[in-house]
Amino acid sequence: MSWVVLIEEIRGSGDRQRWGLVPPSFDGRRDTEFATREEARAEALRLTSAHAPGHPWSERDRQAYRISPDEYLVNVDGATSDFHFRLTVAERIVPG
C-alpha cells in the first residue's frame, strides 16, 4: 500500500463547472505516491502554497486551513471571485 495526495477543486467553466479530482502540481514529477503517510502529509502541506488551481485565473491571495492532520482547505482570492480547493492525504488500498 502507498499514500497519495488528492486534490479536489472546481473543474470546467460556465454551466459545465463541477467539483472533481485534479492532478497535483508536483513540479514535473511523475511520482505521486509516497511510501509513508508523513511524506504525503509534507507534500500536502507544500501544495497548500504551491498548487496552481484552475480557478481563479488571476490569483491575488490565498488562505490555507488545516482541517485535520490529513486534510487542508485552501481559499484562493481572485480578481473577480474566490474559489477553494481541498487537499487530502489518503492511503491507496487498490492499485491504480
Burial (0-12, 13-18, 19+ Cβ within 10 Å), 4: middle
What residues make up the domain containing 25? 2-92
Q: How confident is the model at residue 73 (pLDDT cuts 50, 70, 90)?
A: very high
Could you tell me the pLDDT band of residue 24, with boundaries at 50, 70 and 90?
low
- Residue 87 pairs in a beta bridge with 7, 72
- β-pairing, 2-11 vs 59-68, is unpaired
- Using only C-alpha atoms, the chain has a radius of gyration, in whole angstroms, of 14
Alpha-carbon distance of 56 to 81, in angstroms, equals: 7
How many structural domains does the chain have? 1
Mean pLDDT value across residues 1-29: 74
Name the residue with cell 511523475.
30
